[in-house]
Structure 1
Amino acid sequence: MYLFIFSMLLVVFQYVNSKRILESYEEKIVKKEAHRVRDGVKFTDSISDMRDEISKLSEFSVMNTESALSYFEEKGYSVSELIPFIKDQLYELNLVKGDEHPLIPFPALNGGKMMIDQIRVLNHKWIITNFTDGKYWGEMFLSYELSEDKKLTFKVEKSFLYPFN
């Protein structure tokens, strides 16, 4: 009889303990699910914001300007080959011997040479670049023309050097 009572107490104790553990796990699951849903909404918003930002940044790009693409195609150029060619031509101007860059209208102020750093081809006529001598930097707005024999000519329309600190 004592054995029966002892085993009943043991079963009741295990039942209560198991129930408490199960409720604790269920509570943790509910909290994790709530966090997952909240984080999912947050990540969805972040992804949406990033897509909007990418869309804004790619607005002024030759690859997203239909009229510029059709202009090049009508002339018989492959845009996927032409854009790197234009950029390479500008970067090659960095290698020209001498103290000054042929396009950048500002002399280097720290003893080096001003060089084109980044290039964005806006459309079939315009380019934006930034340039630096390692310490000072500025930006240029260029127009360009591609002749029938694939010779590029660049013209500086506007440029500026950022103020010194």
Structure 2
Amino acid sequence: MQKNIYRYLFLFAALIALYLAFSGNRKVAEASSEIQALRGQVEALEDSLETSRLEVLDMQYFSLENNDDALVYYDHLQLENPSRYIADRLLETNEPRGDNPLVPYEGMENDFKINKIKVLNHRWILADFSDGKYWGELLIEYELKDDLGIDFTVLDHLLYARSHQ
């Protein structure tokens, strides 16, 4: 009788071990397929991140911050951030009342003010202006003097035919 109990216990233990082995293998296979799917997603995200990084580098190509040759012109002025200084001086041309004097158009809905500024190099700026409904762009030449004064000259301008909706 004791022999039969050991047989049944051995058979029961063998069935449990067999069940655990098969269910463990199934779980390992499922986890492996999930890992493969996640690896594919990670690779896709890495590719997307690399593409975005290259696009950002391409967009930064025309900027004073990334143009060492142009920044050499400002070494003697001891400016921490020449682009920010120049942009701030340009924004100061926005009058509290009335159109910005650099914008060669009269505001239709409100006064035209300069909104966005991109300092391209040590000579040129692209600027966006708007009156809240109509907008346009300016190509501005500037000269930063040794006394930190800046002269702005509008080289070209355009006003878009349609308003922002």
User: With structure 2 as the length reference, what TM-score do the two structures score?
Assistant: 0.87
CA distance in 1, matches of 2:43, 2:20: 35
- What is the root-mean-square deviation of aligned Cα atoms in Å? 1.8
Residue type matched to 1:83 in 2?
S
How far apart are residue 89 of structure 1 and its match?
Answer: 1.0
Match of 1:108 in 2: 107
CA distance in 2, matches of 1:78, 1:84: 13
Q: Which runs of 5+ in 1 are unaligned?
A: none
Instruction: Tell whether 2:64 aligns with 1:66.
Output: no
Q: Quick one: which of 50, 54, 57 aligns to 2:56? A: 54
Q: Do the aligned residues in 2 keep the contact of 1:69 with 1:79 (CA within 8 Å)?
A: no
CA distance in 1, matches of 2:81, 2:32: 55
Q: Which runs of 5+ in 2 are unaligned?
A: none
Q: Percent identity?
A: 27
Residue type matched to 1:68 in 2?
A
**Pair 1:28–1:39, CA change in 2 (3 A):** same
Q: Quick one: which of 143, 146, 149 aligns to 1:145? A: 143
Q: Which deviations, in whole Å up to 9, do the C-alpha atoms of 1:90-122 show, x marking residues without a partner? A: 11112x244221111122221x21111111111
Match of 1:132 in 2: 130
User: With structure 1 as the length reference, what TM-score do the two structures score?
Assistant: 0.87
How far apart are residue 83 of structure 1 and its match?
Answer: 2.3
**Aligned length in residues:** 161
